[in-house]
Amino acid sequence: MTSEQTTESNNPVIEKLEEKDTTSAIAVAGHPLHAMSVHFPIALVFGTLAVDVFYWFTADPFWLRVGLWTSGTAFLAGVAAGVVGTAELVLVPGIRARVASWAHAIAAVTLISVAGANWGIRLLDPAAVLPHGMLLSTLAAILTGVAGWHGGKLIFDHGIGLMVSSRD
């Protein structure tokens, strides 16, 4: 075995996991709610960008109405996912202690704010979709990528939120 290789007992990620509890605090029957809820804002943010592109190409006002609904539900679903994520961050010591958790939270809150602005300008003026709505949709899609990537890192690199069953 080379010095680069590690066994389970001296794996630094496992050692850090054993220092403080990182088990998800907000879960239903062993299924963490945040992981279940983030799919909705992710899909709706990217969906809104697609809808804006359809409107740009077709000028069909149908897409303005669709965009109003997808941007609004993207924002509301983002807030709902964010509330659960914030509870995990505040309540679980091992999650709170990691810089990566806070990096994800900052990216996510920035995303939710942009998603809110994207819905707000459409509520005030549906014609604002081109170009400002589409620019906000593009920014929201990029921020979703950043927040989602950081969120994934928490799970796959840091082992956060895992609920390992004691059963065989």
Footprint on this chain of ligand HEM (rule: CB under 6 A)? 24, 32, 34-35, 38, 41-42, 78, 81-82, 85-86, 88-89, 95, 101, 104-105, 108-109, 111-112, 144, 147-148, 151-152, 154-155, 160-161
CA 109 to chain centre: 9
When the beta carbons of 129 and 147 are compared against ligand HEM, the nearer one is 147
Closest approach of ligand HEM to the CB of residue 15, in Å: 19
The minimum distance between CB 155 and ligand HEM, in angstroms, equals 5
Distance CA(34)–CA(106), nearest Å, equals 16
Euclidean distance between the first and the last CA atom of the chain, given in angstroms as a whole number = 29
d(C-alpha 42, C-alpha 121), whole Å: 20
Q: Which is nearer to ligand HEM, 104 or 122 (CB)?
A: 104
In Å, what is the CA distance from 49 to each residue of 5, 41, 97, 122? 44, 12, 35, 13
Our CB check for ligand HEM shows the closer of 47 and 85 to be: 85
